[in-house]
Amino acid sequence: MSLTPKLDSTMMFIGSCVSRDVGRITDLKESISIGNYVARQSLISSFSPPTSLPEFPSKLESKFQQRMIDTDIQSNLPNILINNHKNIKVLLVDIMDERFDVKHSGAGWYTVSDEFKKSGWSDYIPNINILKFSTADHLLHWKNSFLLFINLLEELDLLENTFFIINKFATKTIQGDEIIQPVGLPSPSKRNQQFAPYYDFIEDNKLRTLNPPAEVTLSDKNHLWGVAGFHYADPFYHWISNQIKLEM
């Protein structure tokens, strides 16, 4: 399958800027339409019953951020895939947003993203239980949800078109500086340890994975979103783009 221009074929992104910035930075957008981007949504939330949105207005001013937490609380990822699968030519997935804890509303799980915390809705959605990222309970729930995700992709005939990015957190910038995390956040090395069993499970399932090499796993002090272990310099995104072109 070649990536020749076709207006009704799209590239969809699930995860974070790790995947979405491939469409923003590289030339893939010249050969395929950039489609849906589903972010701030743990798969644990995606494959649980939906929770009703609060009747109280959110404090978020960004329409994008509001749409993301609305989609998460309502567990809409499966519906988005079902409604758009016929036009999806490439589905690019990263799991960076699994770093957020998830809470149970009594109906289903929702993701405690930074945007959710800023929305002011924490006081209006029940918190019956919490799964903290990288704990045994979180990993078990995530594995079950991941398998439901894979089953859905198979049913929609999307699995062969899906790429999972196995990205390590950068410890340095392309300029040669060490990445210093804000107080209270795990170091890049700690994050890599936390994500390792999640990535092992993805690779154990023999899926199409993209493993960027160490030489491109560098952040950039001039990155649009700022310096962070998962905000990479441009060669990272170009490497992923080139691999997709080779495999498609």
Q: How far is residue 190's CA from residue 221's CA, in Å, rounded to a whole number? A: 21
Q: How far is residue 115's CA from residue 95's CA, in Å, rounded to a whole number? A: 17
What pLDDT, on a 0 to 100 scale, did the predictor assign at position 9? 65
Asked, for residue 194, whether it belongs to a domain, the answer is yes
Asked, for residue 113, whether it belongs to a domain, the answer is yes
Name beta bridge partners: 129.
104
What pLDDT, on a 0 to 100 scale, did the predictor assign at position 180? 83
**Helices 188-204 and 136-155: angle between axes, nearest 10 degrees:** 40
Cα 31 to the center of its chain, rounded Å: 23
Specify whether the CB–CB gap between 248 and 3 falls below 8 A. Answer: yes
Asked, for residue 64, whether it belongs to a domain, the answer is yes
Asked, for residue 4, whether it belongs to a domain, the answer is no
Asked, for residue 238, whether it belongs to a domain, the answer is yes
Cα 189 to the center of its chain, rounded Å: 20
Asked, for residue 207, whether it belongs to a domain, the answer is yes
Asked, for residue 79, whether it belongs to a domain, the answer is yes
Pairing of strands 162-165, 88-93: parallel
The CATH number linked to 233 is 3.40.50.1110
Q: What are the CA-CA distances from residue 87 to residues 45, 49, 111 (Å)? A: 25, 26, 28
Tell me which residue range forms the domain holding 228.
10-247
Give me the tens of pLDDT residue by residue for the chain, a chain 248 residues long: 333 333 356 899 999 999 999 999 988 888 888 889 999 999 999 999 999 999 999 999 999 999 999 999 999 999 999 999 999 999 999 999 999 999 999 999 999 999 999 999 998 999 999 999 999 999 999 999 999 999 999 999 999 999 999 999 999 999 999 988 888 889 999 999 999 999 999 999 999 999 999 999 999 998 888 888 899 999 999 999 999 998 87
What pLDDT, on a 0 to 100 scale, did the predictor assign at position 2? 38
Asked, for residue 116, whether it belongs to a domain, the answer is yes
Neighbours of 157 (CB within 10 A): 11
What pLDDT, on a 0 to 100 scale, did the predictor assign at position 31? 81
- Eight-state DSSP code of residue 179: P
240-246: long-range pairs with CB below 8 Å, 24+: 240/22, 240/26, 240/92, 240/163, 240/165, 240/210, 240/212, 241/22, 241/26, 241/27, 241/28, 243/163, 243/210, 244/3, 244/22, 244/28, 244/90, 244/92, 244/163, 244/210, 245/3, 245/28
What pLDDT, on a 0 to 100 scale, did the predictor assign at position 140? 98
Domain tally for the chain? 1
Minimal CA–CA distance to 178: which of 163, 168, 188? 188
What pLDDT, on a 0 to 100 scale, did the predictor assign at position 108? 96
- Name the 3-class secondary structure at 37: strand
Contacts of residue 89, Cβ cutoff 8 Å, sequence gap at least 6: 1, 3, 6, 9, 10, 11, 32, 161, 248
pTM to 2 decimal places: 0.93
Q: Per-residue DSSP letters for 118-160?
A: HHTGGGTS---EEE-TTSHHHHHHHHHHHHHHHHHHHHTT-GG
Q: What are the CA-CA distances from residue 126 to residues 52, 54, 102, 107, 129 (Å)? A: 11, 10, 12, 9, 9
